[in-house]
Amino acid sequence: MDYAEFFEEVTDYRVQGRCLHELSDILLLVLCGLLADCETFEDIYDYACDKEATLREFMDLPAGIPSHDTLNRVFRHLVPTELERCLSQWGQAIVALLAGRHLIIDGKQLRGTTPAGQRQAPVQLVSVWAAEQRLCLAQTAVATKRNELVALPQVLDLVAVTGSVVTLDALGCQRAVAAKLVANGADYLLALKQNQGELHRQAAAHFAPLLAQPAAHQQRDKGHGRGELRQVWVSQQWGLVDAGADWPGLQTLVCQQSTRWVAGKAQQATRYFLCSLAGASAATLAGYIRGHWGIENQQHWHLDVTFAEDACQCRRDQAPRNLSTMRKLALTLLQRSPLVMSLKRKRKKAARDDKFLLQLLAQLPLEETTPVS
């Protein structure tokens, strides 16, 4: 099976005729290494040397295994948007096969790129995450946290959001973002915080008398030494909230009150949301609110903990961004494997079990992509 076709749109910047290694081999080699519990280019090189006979079953490797310096150099100079386009097209093809889409947009710093003495990482990525399918559909880079506002419209242009419900945190709670989503045929659920001063104040005043009434939906959870009660109130009668009158597509105000008990002490938080859905039930809206954390729990956490992304010291040129794209691809392949096992154990199994590694790679051809069972 020719897995190299997955990366056929990535341009080889090197001088043709003077390269010892195929670009497709380098990309596949890094992907296999990330699947097989490798963290650095040195790890990937060592793994490839041990597994060269297996890798030659689907790679050419005309000059043997590329050195770790070669892997690093190539990833430093690849065009990031081309590599990201491979991930995006593959992910959107999967989503198109499945019913219902909840898309989450959120940013993440690559903290391993932070120079000594500085607090902000120079590489920060904004991703679009498909909640039900557990995969990254698109990403774009931003220079600073504030630049996420600039990146949000850009990343929305990379994804067909029509018919989806898009959730964003408070930074994305902007009229321009809401207008962009409505124009693209999507609905939204935006976290409303004090960055929208008067609108937040009016929403809080609007819900104040409603909170004395029974919640439209509530859910209790208990585990890990703590309990939590989440209650949701929904209002479509928000005429007195005149600060929201010019919000594109706004139909519903939502309030969620969370009470958490940790070590016998209660902690309460009240959050407000703007929503373009007119007839959604409180339970449905609660599901979107709860599901928004999927990008943190199922992507960002695993990138940091399972793949040690924040510990990666690869900082030069485009290598950090390109490696992050490959980690997201490897993460998706592992998550979509039906084997009941933690992702950490799956990576170790892929390092030991060549058959399992090939099963993971078999998800790459679009025509053979299957939904998660």
pLDDT tens figures, 247-300? 999 999 999 999 988 777 888 899 999 999 988 999 999 999 999 988 999 999
**Three-state SS at 289:** helix
Nearest CA to 337 among 323, 349, 327, 352? Answer: 349
**pLDDT interval class at 145 (50, 70, 90):** low
Query: Cβ(192)–Cβ(170) under 8 Å?
Result: yes
Q: How wide is the angle at C-alpha 273 spanned by C-alphas 268 and 274, nearest 5°?
A: 170
125 inside domain: no
β-bridge mates for residue 260, sequence order: 228, 267
The most distant pair of C-alpha atoms in the chain lies apart, rounded to whole Å, by 75
Whether residue 218 contacts residue 246, with contact meaning beta carbons closer than 8 Å, is answered with no
Note the pLDDT tens digit of each residue in 204-246.
999 999 999 999 999 988 766 678 899 999 998 877 788 888 8
pTM value > 0.75 = yes
Mean pLDDT computed over every residue of the chain:
88
Nearest Cα to Cα of residue 322 among 28, 44, 40, 82: 82
**pLDDT (0 to 100) of residue 190:** 95
Residue ranges of alpha helices (H) inside the chain are 23-35, 41-50, 52-55, 68-77, 80-96, 148-156, 175-183, 197-207, 282-291, 294, 301-305, 319-335, 343-352, 354-361
Q: What is the pLDDT of residues 36-87, one digit of tens each?
A: 999 999 999 999 999 999 999 999 999 999 999 999 999 999 999 999 999 9
Residues 276 and 184 grouped into a single domain: yes
In a domain, 362, yes or no: yes
Residue 373: per-residue pLDDT: 34
Structural domain contains residue 346: yes
Indicate if 191 and 272 belong to the same structural domain: yes
Half-sphere exposure of 264 (CA within 13 A, CB side): 0
Would the pLDDT of 109 be above 60?
yes
- Considering only CA atoms, which of 234, 199, 195 is closest in space to residue 213? 234
Q: Do 265 and 189 belong to one domain?
A: yes
Could you tell me if residue 108 is inside a domain?
no
Sign of CA dihedral 315, 316, 321, 327: negative
Residues 6+ apart with CB under 8 A from 298: 129, 134, 335
136 belongs to a structural domain: no
Q: Answer positive or negative: Cα dihedral of 112, 117, 122, 126.
A: positive
Q: How many distinct structural domains can be found in the chain?
A: 2
Residue 70 tokens read as 């070669």
Residues spanned by the domain of 363: 3-81+317-368
Residues 339-358, mean pLDDT to the nearest whole number: 96
Residue 24, amino acid: S
Do 276 and 323 belong together in one domain? no
**What is the CA 32 to chain-centroid distance, rounded?**
20
Who's near 196: CB < 8 A, 6+ residues apart?
173, 243
Q: Which of 39-53, 186-200, 301-315 has the highest mean pLDDT?
A: 39-53
Region 302-318 average pLDDT = 89
Contacts of 230 (CB under 8 A, 6+ apart): 218, 219, 220, 221, 256, 257, 258, 286, 290
Instruction: Name the range with the highest mean pLDDT among 91-95, 96-100, 351-355.
Output: 351-355
Stretch 300-323: mean pLDDT: 90
Do 271 and 341 belong to one domain? no
pLDDT for position 368: 43
Residue 235 has a pLDDT of: 92
Integer Cα distance of 65 and 45 in angstroms: 7
**Residue 97 falls within a domain, yes or no?**
no
Higher pLDDT, 367 or 65: 65
- Does residue 267 sit in the same domain as residue 332? no
Q: Specify whether 253 is located in the same domain as 321.
A: no
The least confident of 20-29, 114-123, 199-208 is 114-123
How far is CA 22 from each of CA 60, 113, 176, 347, rounded to the nearest angstrom? 8, 28, 44, 25
Alpha carbon distance 93, 97 (integer Å): 7
Residue 367 has pLDDT above 60, yes or no: no
Confidence at residue 370, expressed as pLDDT on a 0 to 100 scale: 43
Average pLDDT over residues 326-345: 95
Q: How far apart are CA 92 and CA 130, in angstroms?
A: 9
Instruction: Judge whether 343 lies within some domain.
Output: yes
Neighbouring CB atoms inside 10 A of 130's CB total: 24
Rounded CA gap, 47 and 103, in Å? 36
Look at residues 264, 281, 298 and tell me which one is the last residue of a structural domain: 281
Q: Give the residue-averaged pLDDT of 340-365.
A: 95
Portion of the chain with pLDDT greater than 90, in percent: 59
Considering Cα of 207, then 213, then 216, then 218, what sign does the dihedral take? Answer: positive
Domain membership flag for residue 57: yes
